[in-house]
Structure 1
Amino acid sequence: MHQFPVRVYYEDTDLAGIVYYANYLKFIERARSEWLRAVGVDQVAMKSEGLVFVVRRIEADYIAPARFDDNLTVHSSIHEMGAARITMCQKVRRGDQLLFSAVVTLVCITEAGRPVRLPKDVTSRFVDTESRCS
């Protein structure tokens, strides 16, 4: 599991003073990018080889609001891996309180938009990391 800290800034909030719903998607995107970097996946090198990750599907649950100046943590883990996809669980917490939960399916595609198998050097970095989305 990877953890990524996020502080809520004024620009992240709406008129009610709570985090605007779309900003949770930005928080979890940043966490995924940092998690890939932390395990040694070089997305720039992948792109130079004509491969990129894209979000194929996202299922999101907004459970409780975050507010200006909150310190949050995004928890990311792999739920399962297929030949060309990774399904991840991502949760945003304020301390022990769950605020947001998402199941995100990423696929690997060519620059032409065709799905391809995940590179072996990428999949080898995720051996024995599968977990349950709960």
Structure 2
Amino acid sequence: MAEFRWPVRVYYEDTDSGGVVYYANYLKFMERARTEWLRSRGLEQDRLREEQGIIFAVRAAEIEFLRPARFNQALEVTARLAEARRASLSFEQVVYPAGSSEAPCCSGRIRIACLDARSFRPRALPSSLLTEILDDD
């Protein structure tokens, strides 16, 4: 599937005492990019919960920290659907310095589980939703 890109600015609150992005915040940046990827397909997570009774939750994350990003730096976070299974989606994601050909700051593979909103048990993605997700316009 096509790669989706989302801009992120590093705020002071994203950094540690050394002025670099605290490692866990890369996961937040990736989460924002996946949310915006869904939104770009007309899918809002609150509506999915209310109307279809499903939520998404991170099931697994494999992350490599490659180089630091710093306070006030502009970044681009990518999201590319790597695999769609019956009840999960896997994304390949990379955090780059914005507008640069520099090496990435961080990369990862994130697996998202589809869960029933009430029971938090795994649930198959509705076929209509899967069609919208896989539509690569």
* Runs (5+) with no aligned partner, structure 2: none
Structural mapping, 1:66-77, within 5 Å: 66-77=69-80
Determine helix, strand or coil for the equivalent of 2:105.
Answer: strand
Percent sequence identity over aligned pairs = 40
Give the CA RMSD over aligned residues. 1.2
Aligned equivalent of 1:39: 41
Aligned equivalent of 1:132: none
Q: Which one of the candidate residues 102, 106, 119 is aligned to 1:112?
A: 119
CA offsets 1:19-69 (integer angstroms, 9 cap, x no match): 011111111111111110111112112111321011000000000000011
Normalised by the size of structure 2, how large is the TM-score? 0.89
Runs of 4+ in 1 over 3 A off after TM superposition: none
Q: How many residues of Structure 1 are paired with residues of Structure 2 in the alignment?
A: 129
Aligned equivalent of 1:102: 108
CA distance, structure 1, for counterparts of residue 128 and residue 33 of structure 2: 21
Aligned equivalent of 1:88: 91
Determine helix, strand or coil for the equivalent of 1:21.
Answer: coil
CA distance, structure 2, for counterparts of residue 40 and residue 121 of structure 1: 13
AA at the equivalent of 2:80 = S
